[in-house]
Amino acid sequence: MSNDQHDDHRANGARRQLLKAAAGAATLATIRSAAGVGAAAAFALQSGAARAQVNKVLRVGFQKYGNFVVLKARGTLEKRLAPLGFSVQWLEFPGGPQLLEGLNAGAVDVGTVGETPPIFAQAGGVDFVYIASEPPAPKGEAIVVPQDSPIRTVADLRGKRVALNKGSNVHYLLVKALQKANLKYEDIQPVYLAPADARAAFTSRSVDAWVIWDPYLAAIERQANARTIANGEHLVDNVQYYLATRKFADAQPQVVRALVDELVAVDNFARDNIPAVAAQLSPLVGLDTATLEVALKRAGYGVRPIDAATLAYQQQIADTFTELKLIPRKLVVADARWQTT
């Protein structure tokens, strides 16, 4: 193992410990915030039997944007799960790889990520299952450059510094775009950064290009006049997945099914009410409604069960990263399919 690999291993271990600590801190903060005088008085009025009705927690990992943010704001999942004895705890992550580290660390029960993070997670031994997916949204991710950049095509990225979140959905977009331009992955200089750091690097010109997804993509297009040199069209599907730890899905199938039902409902609402959803999301994600409407119009709608075609597409992604030696072994993606009874 190289020094870089040792460093990555130590860094991954440290991140997992931090995620565990963060999850614990989040739980403690939730308890403390609910322990004010008014909350304590209300709690004291409840009978022991009433308190016992809600004694388990579904921990939902979400990102800055998407159905989980809308579901959290609407509060319908809490109402749906209360009769099952579950409350809901919401934990925000900057990207899919970080969310899956949280899932692996035991801080998250269910979460939503793009198409590539599950591949890296499965390769790393994370025990999860696919529980649902959204239709493709290839225009929802892109490779962008500053408006005045001399870079006009993907072929011009040779030797350039390209920012991306390693193991995220856009990682596969970059690989496929390079292949189409007859470039190897080694022909560029990948700079692995989370979205906030990547945006800072992009706007300061310390990187030449940025591979990013919505709503960050819509924001950099509108706020910094970034220019797209390639998006996912004719290259990748850009599918969003809903995952759960295998342990939780097997132990609480009724909770998982109720969650998926609520996702279907909120997804249908978002499809038919884009301006209203953009207005609802705006204060929650810190972006203006016009930017969010751009992103929402590029999304895929119609939450659906995992089928054989979806798994075959994921297998294709896994095989691509195996060939590039970005993951250490061949995966069988179907091993992560949730076997419901």
3-state secondary structure (DSSP) of residue 233: coil
Q: What range does the domain containing 93 cover?
A: 3-137+239-336
Mark whether 45 and 131 lie in a shared domain: yes
Give the β-pairing of 189-192 and 161-164.
parallel
d(CA 215, CA 221): 10
Domain boundary among 164, 199, 231: 231
User: Nearest-CA neighbor of 101 among 214, 8, 237, 197?
Assistant: 8
Please give the single-letter amino acid code of residue 126. Answer: V
Residue 272: give its domain's CATH number. Answer: 3.40.190.10
Q: What confidence tens digit (pLDDT) does each residue in 293-333 have?
A: 999 999 999 999 999 999 999 999 999 999 989 999 999 99
In a domain, 20, yes or no: yes
In a domain, 88, yes or no: yes
Mark whether 113 and 146 lie in a shared domain: no
pLDDT at 167: 87
Mark whether 42 and 128 lie in a shared domain: yes
Q: What confidence tens digit (pLDDT) does each residue in 181-237 have?
A: 999 999 999 999 999 999 999 999 999 999 999 999 999 999 999 999 999 999 999
pLDDT at 238: 95
Mark whether 39 and 113 lie in a shared domain: yes
In a domain, 127, yes or no: yes
In a domain, 144, yes or no: yes
| Residue 189, H or E segment | strand 189-192
In a domain, 341, yes or no: no
Mark whether 314 and 296 lie in a shared domain: yes
Q: Count structural domains, the chain.
A: 2
Mark whether 132 and 256 lie in a shared domain: yes
Mark whether 221 and 286 lie in a shared domain: no
In a domain, 212, yes or no: yes
User: Nearest-CA neighbor of 108 among 123, 125, 122, 127?
Assistant: 127
Instruction: Provide the phi-psi class of 167: left if phi over 0, else alpha when psi is between -120 and 50, else beta.
Output: left
Domain boundary among 214, 231, 248: 231
Mark whether 18 and 113 lie in a shared domain: yes
pLDDT at 8: 45
Q: Write out the chain's pLDDT in tens, 341 residues.
A: 444 444 444 444 444 443 333 333 333 333 233 334 343 333 333 434 444 445 799 999 999 889 999 999 999 999 999 999 999 999 999 888 999 999 999 999 999 999 999 999 999 999 999 999 999 999 999 999 999 999 999 999 999 999 999 988 999 999 999 999 999 999 999 999 999 999 999 999 999 999 999 999 999 999 999 999 999 999 999 999 999 999 999 999 999 999 999 999 999 999 999 999 999 999 988 999 999 999 999 999 999 999 999 999 999 999 999 998 999 999 999 999 998 76
Mark whether 126 and 144 lie in a shared domain: no
Mark whether 83 and 133 lie in a shared domain: yes
In a domain, 188, yes or no: yes
Please give the single-letter amino acid code of residue 88. Answer: V
Please give the single-letter amino acid code of residue 70. Answer: V
In a domain, 96, yes or no: yes
Domain boundary among 231, 250, 282: 231
Query: Which residues have CB under 8 Å from 240's CB, separation 6+?
Result: 66, 112, 113, 114, 115, 133, 134, 137, 300
Query: Which residues have CB under 8 Å from 105's CB, separation 6+?
Result: 16, 17, 19, 20, 23
| Residue 152, H or E segment | none
Mark whether 220 and 248 lie in a shared domain: no
3-state secondary structure (DSSP) of residue 90: strand
Mark whether 146 and 164 lie in a shared domain: yes
